[in-house]
Each structure stands twice: as structure tokens, then as C-alpha cells.
């Protein structure tokens, strides 16, 4: 194993020691639920995207019915999640396209390798690399680490990759990602980005990765000393 993969595994262990092993729901291999939920999660918080998904799901008996529902009606149902006009158009286009393929599920990508599957998914309007990679991780249980703004920021600050955009970070990271860690690594990096490694004034004094991180602009204003817990986490790895 090369040094970069060893470093990723070490970072993953540190994150698990600090945050624990993230819980996950059982993947639904052929369901498009994850794809629709991920479209709704774009540019909003978890609570609002979940409410938008529940609103849509409760008013639509089967996903196939969306083809025959006015886009404006879909927009009203998902308005709580933001960007309702764009997301309603993306969802309606997705369902219509899948029906035209006679395949209202993900079987058409299940046999493809990860990059080929992503290439197929991003052909749908409103589905980008992050959304497609979330489908692979959460619906198909692939060892793929999606890259949102939190993962992009933290993984570059740590120094595992050095890329300017989330999509470039995704490509660089997933070429070297060790087997079997994608879910915990992705989920805990998001938590790290939300709670500690914030865009402005990261709370570096309590970060479990302080000894590994190469970020040059560390912030110790919140606490000039590392907590005992942080030292224990670092020294035991």
C-alpha cells in the first residue's frame, strides 16, 4: 500500500475514533429513491430536503406517476427544499427518461463500473458528479466517496489531494481510495467540515486530525490548548 493510502486509512481511523462509525441504512440496489432524494438535497440542509422528499413521496403513489403530473405541481410539493423550479424539472425529466427506457430503476447502471455508471447518470439534467456518486455509495453500496463542499474543503486542507474544484477532488481522491472505507470516510468528513473544519475560523484546537493536517492557516482562537480527548485520540493511533 502506498503512503497516500496509508495516510487516508489513518485519517479514517482518527475520524472514527472521534465521531464513531456512522450508521447507514440498508442499500436499495435498484431503487431510484436515493437518486431523487439526492437531487432534492442539493443546496439545502438535511431537514428541508427530507421534508421536500416526504412531501413528494406522500403525494405520489408511484414514481412513474410523475410523468403525468404538472411540473408546477411538483414544484409546490418540494418548495421547502429550495431551487424548486430546477429540481422539479430535473425530477420530471429523470422519470420521463427512465420510462422511455422502460426501466424505472437503476438496473441499467448496476452492472457498470463506477466511472461508467457516473457517466450514464450525469446525462440526466440536474444530475452532477456528486449526485451520481451518492447514488453509487448509498444505493449500490459501491466504495465511492462523494465530494461535496465539506469533503472538498477538508480533504484539501488535510493535504491528501490538492485540487481546485469538488469534481477534480472527486477524481483524484477516488483513484487512491482504499477499499471498504467510503461510507465512514465520506460521512465523517462531512461532520468534520460542519462542526470543526469550517470555511472560516476552523476550530483547529479540537480537531482530531491536527497532527496530520497540512492546512497552513490553522486557527486556535477558540481554545489555545488541545483538549485531553484530542491528545488521547491522536496518541492512540
Distance CA 73, CA 65 (A): 12
Distance CA 148, CA 42 (A): 10
Grid coordinates representing 215 are 492546512
Angle between helices 3-19 and 166-176 (to 10 degrees): 110
Distance CA 215, CA 157 (A): 5
Q: What angle do CA 133, 137, 141 make, to 5 degrees?
A: 145
Residues 6+ apart with CB under 8 A from 174: 114, 133, 144, 145
Q: Residue 37: in which H helix or E strand, if any?
A: helix 33-41
Distance CA 102, CA 63 (A): 13
Nearest to 222 by CA among 232, 214, 212, 230: 230
Nearest to 12 by CA among 225, 209, 162, 218: 209
Catalytic annotation on 130? yes
Grid coordinates representing 132 are 451520481
Indicate which residue of 10, 76, 87, 130 is catalytic: 130
Catalytic residue IDs: 130
Amino acid at each position: 500500500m502506498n503512503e497516500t493510502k496509508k495516510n487516508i486509512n489513518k485519517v479514517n481511523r482518527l475520524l472514527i475514533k472521534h465521531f464513531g462509525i456512522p450508521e447507514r441504512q440498508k442499500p436499495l440496489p435498484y431503487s431510484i429513491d436515493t437518486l431523487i432524494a439526492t437531487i432534492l438535497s442539493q443546496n439545502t440542509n438535511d431537514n428541508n430536503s427530507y421534508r421536500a422528499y416526504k412531501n413528494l413521496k406522500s403525494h405520489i403513489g408511484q414514481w412513474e406517476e410523475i410523468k403525468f403530473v404538472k411540473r408546477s405541481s411538483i414544484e409546490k410539493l418540494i418548495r421547502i427544499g429550495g431551487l424548486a423550479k430546477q429540481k422539479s424539472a430535473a425530477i420530471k425529466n429523470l422519470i420521463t427518461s427512465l420510462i422511455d427506457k422502460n426501466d424505472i430503476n437503476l438496473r441499467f447502471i448496476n452492472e457498470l463500473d463506477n466511472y461508467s455508471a457516473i457517466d450514464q447518470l450525469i446525462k440526466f439534467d440536474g444530475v452532477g458528479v456528486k449526485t451520481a456518486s451518492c447514488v453509487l455509495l448509498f444505493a449500490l453500496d459501491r466504495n465511492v466517496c462523494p465530494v461535496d463542499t465539506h469533503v472538498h474543503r477538508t480533504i484539501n486542507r488535510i493535504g491528501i489531494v490538492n485540487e481546485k474544484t469538488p469534481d477534480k477532488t472527486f477524481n483524484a481522491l477516488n483513484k487512491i481510495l482504499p477499499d471498504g472505507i467510503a461510507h465512514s470516510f465520506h460521512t465523517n468528513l462531512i461532520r468534520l467540515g460542519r462542526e470543526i473544519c469550517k470555511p472560516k475560523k476552523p476550530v483547529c484546537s479540537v480537531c482530531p486530525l491536527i497532527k496530520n493536517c497540512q492546512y497552513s492557516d490553522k486557527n486556535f482562537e477558540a481554545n489555545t490548548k488541545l483538549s485531553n480527548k484530542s491528545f488521547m485520540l491522536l496518541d492512540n493511533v
